[in-house]
């Protein structure tokens, strides 16, 4: 009788929880979506070990501007409500809007999608949103990573990260250093909550569900659609305005809201005095404020509260700049002015 131990049965990567065939199928689904985002400068995109991009020759002294971000806990609602087709737009917007603030044109984007078990349909819906966001902002989706990691994520869940690179002429970088007292603050309307404050949004939803008071609609949209409305992409319209008007500073209103993001682009000693009521509060933000039971200061520190991008311009150029942005499709409000800071806060809403 042999004492030789029995050979163990073969184990494949698929047995371990990683489906290479599913990954290949996803890549094939992604390729036509990525092709729609191609633009000048792309030398080699999806499929290689690295993507190649040549800075357009129209730049004389190009400075590269990079940004990275995720979607945050908004993803939890995407999982619960099975709404995966717009979070990719959020992912792109959070990075390209940040790059835009420096005055830069987004050139290309890469994404990172991680899950425990790859569902090709879900991943394709997410990446479809990423491609749409890139197309709307004029940047190329030239690469990314899909990571299937068994045991790292619960079934049906995933995480996202995105990386954008843009370029701006060295002489045209927006730093805010030229902002002076008397400049006007324009606010570009947001599409909704965008991608910040969702930990509080989810608490509000839980509270309303427990009380049986969840609204059917907000701002003329079904409740879930109003909450999940993707982050607005300001890139093309603001770049067009930058080419025509003496814009001094831009601020993307993300985590920290109006109160913490505007000071990031103001010189020392200056403050933004915003006029309460100078832009309308949407039904969505009114519902969040009432459900959470928080004051105006907390609203303006937690959410964009209806203003997704701030534009600082000389008073003499404010009307023309606003007109250009409105003609391009933006909803523009004159929300305040720059003043000496003194001993007060960097942003005052009164």
- pLDDT (mean) for 245-253: 98
Query: Is there a single domain that holds both residue 194 and residue 340?
Result: yes
What is the pLDDT, as a whole number, of residue 191? Answer: 98
What is the pLDDT, as a whole number, of residue 1? Answer: 53
Of the residues 143, 172, 201, the one at which a domain ends: 172
The phi and psi torsions of 140 (rounded to 5 degrees) equal -90, 135
The alpha-helical segments, DSSP class H, found in the chain are: 20-35, 74-81, 87-100, 120-137, 198-211, 223-228, 235-244, 257-261, 283-292, 296-302, 315-328
Query: Is there a single domain that holds both residue 243 and residue 114?
Result: no
Query: Is there a single domain that holds both residue 238 and residue 309?
Result: yes
Query: Is there a single domain that holds both residue 83 and residue 225?
Result: no
The total of structural domains in the chain comes to 2
- Asked whether residue 244 is domain-assigned, the answer is yes
The rounded mean pLDDT for the chain is: 93
Query: Is there a single domain that holds both residue 141 and residue 190?
Result: no
Query: Is there a single domain that holds both residue 189 and residue 161?
Result: no
Of the residues 172, 194, 225, the one at which a domain ends: 172
**CB of 341 closer than 8 Å to CB of 271:** yes
Query: Is there a single domain that holds both residue 29 and residue 148?
Result: yes
Q: Dig out the tokens for 18 from the structure.
A: 């990683």
Percent of the chain scored above 90 by pLDDT?
Answer: 82
Residue range of the domain that includes 225: 184-349
Question: 138's torsion region: left (phi>0), alpha (psi -120 to 50) or beta?
Answer: left
Whichever domain contains 271, its CATH number is 3.90.650.10
What is the pLDDT, as a whole number, of residue 4? Answer: 64
Query: Is there a single domain that holds both residue 194 and residue 160?
Result: no
What is the pLDDT, as a whole number, of residue 131? Answer: 95
- Asked whether residue 7 is domain-assigned, the answer is no
The phi and psi torsions of 163 (rounded to 5 degrees) equal -140, 120
Model confidence at 221: pLDDT above 70: yes
264-289 pLDDT per residue, tens: 999 999 999 999 999 999 999 999 99
Cα dist. 333→18, 158, 166, 325 in Å? 51, 37, 27, 11
Q: What is the pTM of this model?
A: 0.93
What is the pLDDT, as a whole number, of residue 344? Answer: 83
Query: Is there a single domain that holds both residue 216 and residue 147?
Result: no
Query: Is there a single domain that holds both residue 168 and residue 192?
Result: no
Of the residues 111, 144, 172, the one at which a domain ends: 172
- pLDDT (mean) for 293-297: 96
């Amino acid at each position: 009788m042999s004492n030789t131990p029995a050979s163990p049965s073969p184990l494949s990567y698929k047995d371990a929880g990683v489906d290479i065939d599913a990954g290949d199928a996803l890549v094939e689904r992604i390729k036509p979506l990525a092709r729609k985002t191609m633009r000048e400068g792309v030398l080699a995109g999806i499929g290689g070990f690295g993507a190649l991009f040549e800075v357009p020759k129209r730049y004389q002294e190009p400075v590269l501007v990079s940004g990275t971000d995720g979607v945050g806990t908004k993803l939890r609602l995407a999982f619960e409500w099975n709404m995966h087709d717009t979070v990719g737009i959020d992912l792109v917007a959070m990075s390209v809007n940040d790059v835009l603030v420096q005055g830069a044109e987004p050139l290309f984007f890469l994404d990172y999608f991680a899950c425990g078990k790859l569902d090709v349909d879900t991943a394709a819906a997410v990446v479809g949103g990423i491609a749409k966001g890139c197309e709307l902002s004029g940047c190329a989706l030239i690469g990314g990573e899909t990571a299937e990691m068994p045991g790292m994520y619960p079934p049906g869940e995933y995480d996202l990260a995105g990386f954008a690179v843009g370029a701006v002429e060295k002489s045209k970088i927006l730093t805010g250093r030229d902002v002076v007292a008397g400049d006007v603050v324009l606010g570009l309307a947001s599409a909704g909550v965008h991608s910040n404050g969702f930990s509080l949004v989810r608490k509000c939803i839980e509270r309303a569900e427990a009380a049986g008071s969840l609204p059917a609609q907000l701002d003329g949209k079904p409740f879930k659609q109003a909450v999940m409305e993707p982050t607005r992409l300001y890139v093309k319209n603001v770049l067009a305005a930058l080419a025509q008007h003496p814009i001094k500073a831009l601020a993307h209103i993300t985590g920290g809201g109006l109160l913490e993001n505007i000071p990031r682009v103001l010189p020392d000693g200056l403050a933004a005095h915003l006029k309460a009521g100078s832009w309308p509060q949407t039904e969505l933000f009114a519902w969040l404020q009432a459900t959470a039971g928080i004051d105006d200061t907390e609203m303006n520190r937690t959410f964009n509260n209806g203003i997704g991008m701030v534009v600082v311009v000389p008073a003499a150029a404010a009307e023309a700049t606003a007109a250009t942005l409105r003609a391009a499709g933006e909803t523009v409000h004159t929300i305040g002015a720059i003043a000496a800071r003194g001993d007060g806060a960097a942003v005052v809403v009164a």
